[in-house]
Amino acid sequence: MKILKIIGVVFLVLLFSIIVASQLINPNDYKSTLAEMVKTATGRTLYIEGDISISLLPRISITMGKTWLSNAENFDKIAFISIENTEIRLQILPLLMKRIVLEKVLLSGVNLNLQRNILGQGNWEDLSNKSATTDNTASNSFSIEIQQTTLQQAQIHWDDVQQQQHYSATNLNIDMGTLAYPLNQQVLPLHLASQLLSTNLKTEIALNTQIQLTPTKQQYRLNPLTMTLTATGQAIPNQQQTLRINTQLFVDIAQQQLAIDTLQINLLDNINIQLQLNTQNLLTNPHLTGKLTVPSFAPQIALKQLGININNSDKLQSINASAEIDATLQDKVSLNNINIQLDKHTLTIPQIQLDINTQQLQMVNFVLQIANLNATAVLTIQQLFTNPLFIGELIVKPFSLKEFLQTFDFTIPELAYLPLKTAALRLAVNGTREALKVDLQGIIDDNNASINNLQINVPAKTATLEQSVLSAFGLRLTGQANFTQWTTQPVLLGTIQLASFSPRELLKKLNISPPSTRDAKALDAAELSLQVKSDLHSVQLTDINLRVDQSRLRGYINVSAWQPLIGKLALQVDDIDADRYLAPTQTANNKSTNTILPDLPWAEIQATNLQGTIMIDTLKMNDIIVKDTAIVIE
């Protein structure tokens, strides 16, 4: 609508200037008359600061100096649009045949200021309202042909006070070929170049196309359409990146069809994205079908453009992707048969579907294959546009963890008790962005671990773990925990229970020979429970309850610093029969020197600052019984 008004003003100036010229009257004397006509048509004030000149031979030529239109009320006191120079060339003879043939329309130094105030009102809206009530008495008997339209050194500024946005398009240059009205079958070349400016970012745009018009069939084609965008700024990888677009576009208004034939987007030097798209019911309920393809490219080159260097040349050699599009914009949007391949690894998703009416996003039968690892997943997001609710599950099928790690060049130590032959995983999530529940189960060989009912409260920055279970090497370790203030001063509160187990059997499972003891049943049973409170700097172990065979230890250990180790302890042991754990009495045939007492790191122990008392109710050693023994650590 704004363009029509500008064209209307230009033609009013043209027609009026011809009349004045034909009567040999200076057209500059009629600036006020032109301003009044514009005021009536738009409600704005037209200022013509430059001179108006007219020449009649060999064609009518009209030039006009600086002209500008005032801004809307309650907006900045600047020009809504200003034009430094206007030049129009009009053929004379076609006028006798009711044809207006403009050989040239040149607008240079155009400056358009678009503004939106704090109330969300635009400074162009009054023009639309005014034009809606203006009586259109223009004659339809004339045909119009504009052979060349040129816009030079134009600027468009967008200033949104409400959203605090400011953008500028500068150095805008447009060249357009012949355009005839009434519209008939014709080809209209169009060339556009401009710069877009925003905070810390400059984007240069170049667009070239041929617009093929077939108005009788209401068909329009852009063939070819090429566009280059070069973005420069500190936030851009390597400070500069170029995006190139090539395509063909066809629109059939009568059949409500839109077709994009192989849209090609090239970025980061070696990534080429291809899109084929067809649209039915374009004006009512658009239905889109098509295919998106990313042919194979080298990720290492793309990552290098982003400032990321990959040292391992054997990885990230090739990636490609494809997906099918099926969307009804008022109902459902689906991506089908999604396939992504990275080197020899694949990701397959049969369908991702968005139901706009029910606000539900579904991803079903997700399949991921990385080396010998195969994973499946499902994900549903309900209330997508309001308060998203996530329901999902990931299952990693049993696979050889050792083989998987070796694929990525990890050095795997040979451990007989942990061969890494089999691993599996299950992860389930349920909740919103504010409150999420997580369940996790994992298996490695004969060992398994689980996290049951982990409740995460994001606004409160807290998490509650109802139960975690670790079963490994004959041990069963369970725990509960609460986490608070995880983003500022993390605090962990929890309990740990180690069910009864045989230390002797545990050592055997770890391929460690158990110590020889006088009592063959020594180290046959142990269990532990305690409470934990910990932050980034300290840990408190309270309600410690440790049993080894028939001996029990209770108490607490508080560590307030780690380097050096500073803390306090108070431990109580009921009865210790040390004779059971001593090495067997040596004989001529049995000279075993094996002992259960290890060499302790005395130097490190002396460097600590642990203080406290260890009380032993009854201690038996070499058949000597000592009661109420106190070991004071200072």
The answer to which of 107-111, 331-335, 551-555, 584-588 has the lowest mean pLDDT is 584-588
Q: Quick one: pLDDT at residue 239?
A: 83
Instruction: Provide the percentage of residues in the chain whose pLDDT is more than 90.
Output: 54
Q: Quickly tell me which residue has 């050699």 as its tokens.
A: 317
Model confidence at 24, in pLDDT bands (50, 70, 90)?
A: low
Task: Give the start-to-end residue ranges of the domains of the chain.
Answer: 20-120+143-182, 358-411+419-453, 479-581+601-633
Q: Mean pLDDT over residues 509-534, rounded?
A: 92
Q: How many residues does the chain have?
A: 634
Tokens describing residue 95: 């006028």
Q: What is the pLDDT of residues 61-103, one digit of tens each?
A: 889 999 999 999 889 989 999 999 999 999 988 888 888 999 9
- Over 50: is that where the pLDDT of 326 sits? yes
Dihedral over alpha carbons 576, 582, 587, 590 (to 10 degrees): 140
Q: Cα(557)–Cα(614) distance, rounded to whole angstroms?
A: 11
List pLDDT tens digits, range 397-450. Answer: 999 999 999 888 888 888 888 999 999 999 999 999 899 999 999 999 999 999
At residue 605, the pLDDT reads 66
SS3 label, residue 239:
helix
pLDDT surpassing 90 at residue 134? no
Contact 88, 100 (CB under 8 A): no
* Residue 458 pLDDT > 80: yes
pLDDT of 552 over the 50 cut: yes
281: left (phi over 0), alpha (psi -120 to 50) or beta: left
**What is the pLDDT averaged over residues 603-609?**
72
More confident residue, 602 or 226: 226
Q: What share of the chain is helix, strand, coil (3-state, %, to 5)?
A: 15, 55, 30
The pLDDT, as a whole number, for residue 252 is 94
525/527 Cα distance (integer angstroms): 7
- The whole-chain average pLDDT of the chain stands at 87
Closest by CA to 439, choosing from 424, 462, 455, is 455
CA atoms of 514 and 458, how far apart (whole Å):
48
Predicted pLDDT of residue 380: 96
Question: In angstroms, what CA-CA distances link 280 with 249, 253, 289, 331?
Answer: 14, 10, 9, 14
Backbone angles phi, psi at 161, to 5 degrees: -70, -35
To 10 degrees, the CA torsion angle through 402, 404, 410, 412? 0
Could you tell me the pLDDT band of residue 627, with boundaries at 50, 70 and 90? very high
Q: Give the pLDDT band of residue 527 (cuts 50, 70, 90).
A: very high
| Interval 227-244: pLDDT, tens | 999 999 887 877 888 889
Report yes or no on whether pTM surpasses 0.75.
Answer: no
Strand partners, 195: 170, 204
pLDDT value at residue 588:
39
**Secondary element (H or E) of residue 205:** strand 201-214
- Radius of gyration for the chain, computed over Cα atoms and rounded to the nearest angstrom: 41
